[in-house]
Amino acid sequence: MARQHNALIAGSDFKSGQTRFKTVMSDFLIGSGLRISSVVSYNHLGNNDGKNLSEDKTFRSKQISKAGVLDDAIKANPVLYPEDNKKIDHEVVIKYVPFVGDSKRALDEYSSQIFLGGTNTISSYNVCEDSLLAVPLMYDMIILGELFSRMEIDGEKMGPVLSYLSFFFKAPITNHDEYVINSFGRQRETLCNLIKVAAGILPDDTTLLNFKF
């Protein structure tokens, strides 16, 4: 529908707190050569988001979008995750607790397989004001969306699918279904380098060859 009406779209289910942290942690652990085997996320909150998610159909949609953010890190390491063994135990629990209001409580547990059959588990606990965490990111998304709506590449407008805004969503939408980026590092690098190129600045060269290392 966005394509038919030339309306901007970039994804669904805004990514602000626990899920964004999950993309960072999966990048870190798998990038360190550790095979994540279990990721369990629990959170409770009392605002309208929490109330809506107490409905089974709404929760199922959220569960699917949260699960997809690990796909990038898994695909990036076929040694740890060969074709016949890509499964991760990934559970998401969300509970509506009216008393806590907008104060979201999020607990994550990441368990990885390590040397000689050992297990490494990292747990995190985060308390935040859910709306206050999300609103500044929404401002960034709107400002960048407006900028990209005016930009052209080789005379062709960027919209209506603004895949460069994947950085802000759990379920990004792109023009190429086979190329969806969920990794926090890759999303940020792609977005920053596009803005640098548009401003006439060379994108980051991470080889460091100019320093003769």
List the catalytic residue out of 62, 66, 72, 108.
62
List the catalytic residue out of 15, 22, 66, 104.
104
Structure tokens at 110: 């990441």
Cβ proximity of 175 and 166 under 8 Å: no
Has 22 been annotated as catalytic?
no
Has 13 been annotated as catalytic?
yes
CA dist 159 and 179 (Å) reads 17
Residues in the chain: 213
Three-state secondary structure of the chain = CHHHHCCCECEEEECCCHHHHHHHHHHHHHHCCCEEEEEEEEEEECCHHHHHHCCHHHHHHHHHHHHHHHHHHHHCCCCCCCCCCCCCEEEEEEEECHHHCCEEEEEEEEEEECHHHCEEEEEEEEEEEHHHHHHHHHHHHHHHHHHHHHCEECCEECCCECHHHHHHEEEECCCCCCCCCCCHHHHHHHHHHHHHHHCCCCCCCCCCHHHCC
Has 170 been annotated as catalytic?
yes
List the catalytic residue out of 15, 22, 66, 170.
170
Catalytically active residues are: 13, 62, 104, 170
